[in-house]
């Protein structure tokens, strides 16, 4: 028994070390990336593509400022830190819808099921950017000609796995097939003076992985994760990478750790994340969730720094019906000069 525990501990430490080493490599894979980042007078921002992968689709997570790296929860953990799915009991299904800025719609789904060898999960994010007018440069008064419309789309479909290696340590990962279709656009003329169209559709494999560790110090739990690791993609002659991020976070059930209040009556969770995106400043994310009688949850979160986003808030209701749990969640995000963003989801556990 002692040998088994020692072996699992060694594996756990090796996993943590591997993630830290891999993360250092990921952010330094460009020549002199770190030196340029430190010494350059200009910040290296907005240098990634397929940014739809950075938009959260889970109302609960958004309402808590996306400070979800160390939280063990439903199949929606696959959108933050796949290790958070490791202790799911039975099955879980999530369906979510996001009304984003500029009439962009996100539809998302995830499902997970616990088996004797771990938790298996699938996920999907489907983005519809609406119809956009296609224009062609021309030497007229307007400077362009209209050429109908096109409808860009983006999708990410993933297969995930998580497992609790010990009663404190969990690991998880996800493989995603990511596609983005920017439609067909006129790029030249043929011999007859008609438009020649080029298609702008790309796909790439992307990888997420993470760990969660319960410290044993009351309910304090810490987590680490890396999201959107992939090869470089090229549109025309310009290359870019996916929005790679490294996150580390911690969470505690403050109310029940320091009072004798029954957790089935009142629960107050505080979560704190720090995130290092490839194409933005380091961010601090703070989230709060108060739950009354395991039924009603009220949430709030804040992210710093942010250009336009303000306060995040939301609520959720969950009920059990003869062994099948149902939940409804909603979130609201202030978005500065843009229209405010709302998210809505339905969930089932069994």
Predicted local distance difference test score (pLDDT) of residue 217: 94
Is residue 112 within 8 A of residue 87, CB to CB? The reply is no
Tens digits of per-residue pLDDT, 55-101? 999 999 999 999 999 999 899 999 999 999 999 999 999 999 999 99
Domain range for 328: 2-349
Predicted local distance difference test score (pLDDT) of residue 43: 59
Find the distance separating the first CA and the last CA of the chain, reported in whole Å: 33
Q: What is the CATH number of the domain that holds 295?
A: 2.40.160.40
Predicted local distance difference test score (pLDDT) of residue 32: 44
Predicted local distance difference test score (pLDDT) of residue 75: 97
Predicted local distance difference test score (pLDDT) of residue 188: 73
Averaged pLDDT of the chain: 87
Predicted local distance difference test score (pLDDT) of residue 74: 93
Per the structure, the count of domains in the chain is: 1
Which residues, at least 6 apart from 173, have a Cβ–Cβ distance to it below 8 Å? 82, 160, 161, 162, 207, 208, 209, 210
The list of the chain residues with pLDDT below 50 reads 2, 4-42
Which CA distances in Å does 163 have to 87, 119, 120, 296, 318? Answer: 8, 6, 9, 29, 25
Quick one: residue 222, left, alpha or beta (phi over 0 = left, psi -120 to 50 = alpha)?
A: beta
Task: Evaluate the CA torsion angle 43, 41, 30, 21 in order and state its sign.
Answer: negative
């Amino acid at each position: 028994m002692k040998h088994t525990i020692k072996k699992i501990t060694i594996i756990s430490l090796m996993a943590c070390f591997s993630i830290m080493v891999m993360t250092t490599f990921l952010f330094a894979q460009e020549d002199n990336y770190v030196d340029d980042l430190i010494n350059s007078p200009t910040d290296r921002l907005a240098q990634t593509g397929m940014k739809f992968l950075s938009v959260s689709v889970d109302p609960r997570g958004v309402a808590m400022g996306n400070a979800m790296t160390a939280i063990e929860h439903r199949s929606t953990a696959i959108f933050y830190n796949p290790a958070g799915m490791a202790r799911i009991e039975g099955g879980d299904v999530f369906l979510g819808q996001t009304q984003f800025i500029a009439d962009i719609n996100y539809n998302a789904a995830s499902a997970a099921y616990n088996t004797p060898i771990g938790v298996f999960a699938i996920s999907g994010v489907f983005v519809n950017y609406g119809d956009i007018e296609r224009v062609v440069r021309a030497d007229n008064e307007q400077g362009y000609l209209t050429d109908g419309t096109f409808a860009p789309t983006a999708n990410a479909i993933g297969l995930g796995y998580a497992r609790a290696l010990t009663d404190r340590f969990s690991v998880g990962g996800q493989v995603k097939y990511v596609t983005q279709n920017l439609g067909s656009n006129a790029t030249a003329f043929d011999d007859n003076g008609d438009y020649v169209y080029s298609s702008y559709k790309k796909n790439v494999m992307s990888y997420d992985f993470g760990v969660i560790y319960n410290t044993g110090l009351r309910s304090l739990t810490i987590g680490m994760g890396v999201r959107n690791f992939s090869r470089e993609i090229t549109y025309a002659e310009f290359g870019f990478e996916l929005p790679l991020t490294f996150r580390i976070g911690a969470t505690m059930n403050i109310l029940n750790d320091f009072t004798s209040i029954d957790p089935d009556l009142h629960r107050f969770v505080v979560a704190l994340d720090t995130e290092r995106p490839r194409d933005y400043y380091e961010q601090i994310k703070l989230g709060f969730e108060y739950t009354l009688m395991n039924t009603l949850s009220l949430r709030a979160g804040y992210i710093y720094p942010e250009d336009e986003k303000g306060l995040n808030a939301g609520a959720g209701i969950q009920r059990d019906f003869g062994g099948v749990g149902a939940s409804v969640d909603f979130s609201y995000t202030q978005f500065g000069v843009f229209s405010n963003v709302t998210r809505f989801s339905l969930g089932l556990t069994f």
